[in-house]
Structure 1
Amino acid sequence: MSTSKGDMVVEMYPAIAPVTVDNFLQYVREGFYKNLIFHRVVATFVTQGGGFDVNLVPATTHAPIRLESGRGLSNLRGTIAMARTSEPNSATSQFYFNNFDNLNLDAASPGNDGYAVFGKIVKGLDVLDAIRVVPVVNSVPTTPVLINNVTQTQ
């Protein structure tokens, strides 16, 4: 993942979260994330992107996918997970990186469906740290942090 703050390499877990990984990689293959932004940055929580352009216009997405939380992956620092609404099966293109361990985002009990972790940063954690400390107003970076492009490697 190439961003305006540097590059990150993310390892995916298709054996654990196959629907989520397939969904993310479909967007990657389509070039969907090119020139979108990280629109939500909470330094002590998450860095979220993949849904808006620099003018905060929402991108058109595919249909939502089913939630794959509770499969043994936790929202630990540097992991990537799908963002969603309060409806568990509502994730489309938006994802977030955990800036710190956020175990409260894991599926824990009935009624707490959690969020689907599907990979982790294996190179470029310093880039996430650079993004998480950018100046924000209401969690929106004052200067857009671009996702230049996302590509798949083997």
Structure 2
Amino acid sequence: MKSATILLSLLLPTAQVLAQEISAFSTDPRVRVETSAGEFIIEVNRGRAPLTAEAFLRHVTTGFYAGTVFHRVVSGFIAQGGGYTADLELKPAEGTVYNESGNGLSNLRGTVGLARTGDPHSGTTQFYINLADNLDLNPRPTRWGYAVFGTVVEGMEVVDDLGHSPTGAGGEFERSVPVNPITIENMALVIE
């Protein structure tokens, strides 16, 4: 019990520092995504997608995304990553994020959304970048959509190149896995 108390006392200041670091940024902080294919910058919309943005920024500041890959690339549709290792093993994630797809942001080319399963509130760490306008991912009166929480504001040419990667089967996936892995090497808040 004593070791758990010591560990908690060591982690608590770290969590507080991370929370202060995130909140020190403007409403729309930017995140530099360094990949094996180049880098791009995402502007995160905390005002329209506060729960999704905070979860994403927490994963960025804790280094969760380092070493994950873009495991699903569909040309003219999306590039999805942030959940699988280079060996295509799912990286454990804590908790899910409430679906904020009704926030007024649309799945347009260059926007970033939270990936999920068929359960509308199942999003965790995986995100996708729209390679085209994907209005079918938006919510409708009869169903949930996919929550947009950011926009690629620099380096969309890198994302476009990523979207043209040759794909095939890999791991548990029958298709759409880049033949040459595209690794997220680092993600960090941009300090201006």
TM-score range, shorter chain: over 0.9
Gaps of 5+ in 2: 1-32, 169-174
Aligned counterparts of 1:36 and 1:79: Cα–Cα separation in 2: 20
Gaps of 5+ in 1: none
**RMSD (Å) for aligned C-alpha atoms:** 0.7
In structure 1, the residue matched to 2:180 is 143
Aligned counterparts of 2:86 and 2:41: Cα–Cα separation in 1: 23
Q: May I ask how many residue pairs the two structures share in their alignment?
A: 153
Runs of 4+ in structure 1 over 3 Å off:
none
In structure 1, the residue matched to 2:157 is 126
Residue identity in the other structure for 2:166: P
Aligned counterparts of 1:153 and 1:8: Cα–Cα separation in 2: 11
TM-score, normalised via structure 2 length: 0.78
In structure 1, the residue matched to 2:146 is 115
Secondary structure of 1:150 counterpart: strand
User: Greater relative contact order (Cα 8 A, min sep 6): structure 1 or 2?
Assistant: 1
In structure 2, the residue matched to 1:153 is 190
What are the Cα deviations for residues 83-136 of structure 1, in whole angstroms up to 9, with x where unaligned?
A: 0011111100000000000000000122x2000000100000000011000110
Matched-pair identity in %: 43
Aligned counterparts of 1:5 and 1:109: Cα–Cα separation in 2: 39
Secondary structure of 1:50 counterpart: strand
1:28 lines up with 2:60 in the alignment: yes
In structure 2, the residue matched to 1:49 is 81
TM-score, normalised via structure 1 length: 0.97
C-alpha displacement at 1:150, in angstroms?
0.6
Aligned counterparts of 2:104 and 2:124: Cα–Cα separation in 1: 22
In structure 1, the residue matched to 2:27 is none
Aligned counterparts of 2:190 and 2:178: Cα–Cα separation in 1: 29
Aligned counterparts of 2:40 and 2:148: Cα–Cα separation in 1: 17
